Chain A
Amino acid sequence: ELKVEQNPLFLSMQEGKNYTIYCNYSTTSDRLYWYRQDPGKSLESLFVLLSNGAVKQEGRLMASLDTKARLSTLHITAAVHDLSATYFCAVAGNTDKLIFGTGTRLQVFP
């Protein structure tokens, strides 16, 4: 059974600092996704990573994938308040259903 773990669960960080969110998964998959969710809202797609060594960047966020280690990271550079949200990674299982991690609640303070 495919399982996805994220850490940390909560992250409180100061503006301007850097940090990394980790996503581990238990079995082989060919796709990994990162989503952002604001309170009471739906999911916003951030990145889709398809291959080993894939790296994608958008603004202050950068995601990478190591399929051999079954690990993806979401790196935050010089955090700003607008990045405060919950971030989920998800891995495609059989039949393309998404198995989500527990989420990382990020709070950026001045």
Chain B
Amino acid sequence: NAGVMQNPRHLVRRRGQEARLRCSPMKGHSHVYWYRQLPEEGLKFMVYLQKENIIDESGMPKERFSAEFPKEGPSILRIQQVVRGDSAAYFCASSSAGGPVYEQYFGPGTRLTVT
């Protein structure tokens, strides 16, 4: 049973370019969470999605960031016109609904470097 997959694992973008980060949840999981970890800091919640729905985007910056989780395919976190401050590790986690414990399983992360 494959775990949460993220790609690419490393991504380098120049300022002003777009970054697309992909997350495939564990099999049978329909909930995806995105977190950002700045260097030497803890993880910060960004957005929570279910298939075709954004449930909670309270942690998303108001501009340049968007996320989707289509009916088919991976969840995508999109950053437009990247700036140096976007350099961070982006982790997604997935969970399944139901059951007494909503454990989130983390992917390996995408490390974004903006030059």
Contacts and interface: CB of A to CB of B under 8 A. Distances in A.
Contacts of B48: 95-97
Interface residues of B, number: 27
Interface string B39-79: 00111110010000001101100000000000000000000
A35 B109 CA distance: 15
Q: Looking at A95, A98, A103, which has the most chain B CB atoms within 10 Å of its CB? A: A98
A99 B107 CA distance: 17
A98 B45 contact: yes
A31 interface: yes
B106 A97 contact: no
A100 B43 contact: yes
Contacts of B111: 40
State the majority secondary structure of interface residues on A: mixed
A43 B89 CA distance: 12
Contacts of B107: 42
A43 B109 CA distance: 9
A98 B33 contact: yes
Which 6 A/B pairs are nearest by Cβ-Cβ distance?
A: A95-B56, A100-B42, A97-B45, A43-B106, A100-B43, A42-B108
Interface of B: 31, 33, 35, 41-45, 48, 55-56, 58-59, 91, 93, 95, 100-109, 111
Interface of A: 31, 35, 40-43, 45, 48, 50, 88, 90, 92-103
